[in-house]
Amino acid sequence: MSSPSPSQIPAIYSVLKFYKVSSYVTGVFLLLLMVTWGIRRLPFLGYDLWVFGPNGVISFESYGIDGEGLPEVGLNLTVLILIVHGWLYVVYLLADFRLWTRMRWPFTRFLIIGAGGVVPFLSFYTEAKYAKLAREQLRELEGK
């Protein structure tokens, strides 16, 4: 395993900030996704979170069978959270890839960090662990 060159250190710090932000944002949206998924899928609940629908600014609307009975006005916040998390995960993987390539880490580390966007709470753990590891390695390269 080789180390990044000292000339890349400023760029790596920038990549590290991007990774940290994407990690937290993706992790929060994954937790929101899990809550809305639970509200939708648990047998005794079966609701979607609805915004600006016929029953107020924010309401739970009965999901029914195959989405029957959902309002035709407003915005389905459950679906919106699913879509936003999907795109945030793409950004998270990009941040993971940039950090992984700049730090010249093994491929398994890329996979572990990438799993953080789909395993609840893992993005917070991987961010803390690998951002700290990256900072330590960068300090060694700087000679501090």
Query: Is the residue at 106 inside a domain?
Result: yes
Query: Is the residue at 144 inside a domain?
Result: no
Instruction: Return the CA Rg of the chain.
Output: 20
Spatial CA neighbour of 133 closest among 111, 107, 100, 88:
100
Cα-to-chain-centroid distance, residue 132 = 19
Query: Is the residue at 116 inside a domain?
Result: yes
Residue span of the structural domain in which 111 resides? 8-138
pLDDT digits (tens, 9 = 90+) for 79-124: 899 999 999 999 999 999 999 999 999 999 999 999 999 999 999 9
Query: Is the residue at 132 inside a domain?
Result: yes
Q: What is the pLDDT of residue 142?
A: 85
Domain total in the chain: 1
Query: Is the residue at 1 inside a domain?
Result: no
Helices then strands, each counted (H, E), the chain: 4, 3
pLDDT digits (tens, 9 = 90+) for 24-72: 999 999 999 999 888 888 766 778 888 998 888 988 888 666 656 777 8
Query: Is the residue at 2 inside a domain?
Result: no
Query: What are the φ and ψ backbone dihedral angles of 81, each rounded to 5 degrees?
Result: -65, -40
Spatial CA neighbour of 71 closest among 53, 47, 56:
53
